[in-house]
Amino acid sequence: MKNFNATLATFENVDHIKEIKLFNSGGHESGCILNKPGTQGSIKLYNHLFLIFGKLTTNAAIEGLNLYCEHVEDAKNNPGKHPNIDLLIDIIKRKETLTIKIKIL
């Protein structure tokens, strides 16, 4: 079984990223992930999705959930505990595409 920390180790370094902002089709901010303790795994994962897909599409969200590994079940059982996973679940439910903007330090 895949493990989130092992998966993260395969992603690019993101020390240069300050934050990742997500925008809906109307241009309104739908989410923001700051590069700080507790969210660095999500920064790495969302940056990886950006590099592969360019946007957060339904397919990108499905891949993101696969990459979050063991944390997805906990997120589904505890809505709000893992907001960056919740966002991917919502993208799939709504069949929405979000634009990803990466702010560099």
| CA dist., res. 47 & res. 45, Å (int) | 5
pLDDT tens, 33-49? 999 999 999 999 999 99
Helices (H), the chain: 4-8, 40-53, 58-67, 71-77, 83-94
Tokens of residue 79, six digits: 């809505």
Assess whether pLDDT exceeds 90 at residue 1: no
Confidence class of residue 10 from pLDDT cuts 50, 70 and 90?
A: very high
- Polymer length of the chain: 105
**Segments making up each domain of the chain, as ranges:** 4-104
Residues 100 and 46: beta-carbon distance below 8 Å = yes
Q: What's the pTM value of the predicted model, to 2 decimals? A: 0.95
What's the confidence (pLDDT) of residue 2?
79
- The one-letter amino acid code at 61 reads A
**pLDDT tens-place string over residues 19-35:** 999 999 999 999 999 99
